[in-house]
Structure 1
């Protein structure tokens, strides 16, 4: 079995389970899929990649809240745009730190927060659990592929 097929199978199965978990816990299924996507897109994989993906998602939530509440506080549309520009700069420059190096993960977290109208209490667990599901999708797919190869490599015997 190819790695792609194995990951596709486990991703399909776990996506259905995630949908049920999200509804059961009252989470945002789409935000969970963003967390999952963030892990899959991260250039670093494994547990370290999951950590980087989750931390950048959380940083993005925080930056979005700075934009949302800062814009409300200033109450001026032009100042809101300036604040957005400044925060976007910081969202990128934070990548100098290894654990915050995945810039798309930061923007994913921010976009999820904007899409949820700033409801970070719902976005954060959705992103985090979704990220863990992404990790499990890939790890279980890699395991399945390796398992299928080892079984195929066994010598054939006749009975």
Structure 2
């Protein structure tokens, strides 16, 4: 599917002198093909058959590594388990407050935000994030609308903003 994307990432890892283990390759491939922003647990379960001796901790540590290298983003969306998002391009997330689904949103215009912020504040901006909350089309079809939706914040317990 996105073969070249995986290969590019593998190249980057080689250049960073990171060993390419079969597990790492599989985790990366799963992330690239996955459209659901999986949790570490999702990935662990998905690969458990292929790597029976791989622990959940291994998956998590590898994800942390990918995040550090910068081609995977960790989305802390207020629930206990972070989701991981393979990201070669800056994009945003629309999050359904009813079912929790996350949809990627590409809006290149917002890339200027960082430049504007630097000009206005004098900060050296490293990154930014934006989340859009609402009710996805599936939930709307079930009759859930923004006026009667259980707010995700209440269901997830309030998460502290650092």
- Which category of TM-score, normalised to the shorter sequence, fits these structures? under 0.3
Which of the two has higher C-alpha Rg? 1
Select the structure with the greater relative contact order (CA < 8 A; seq sep ≥ 6). 1
After TM superposition, the score normalised by the length of structure 1 is 0.24
- The structure with the largest strand share of the pair is 2
After TM superposition, the score normalised by the length of structure 2 is 0.23
- The structure with the largest helix share of the pair is 1
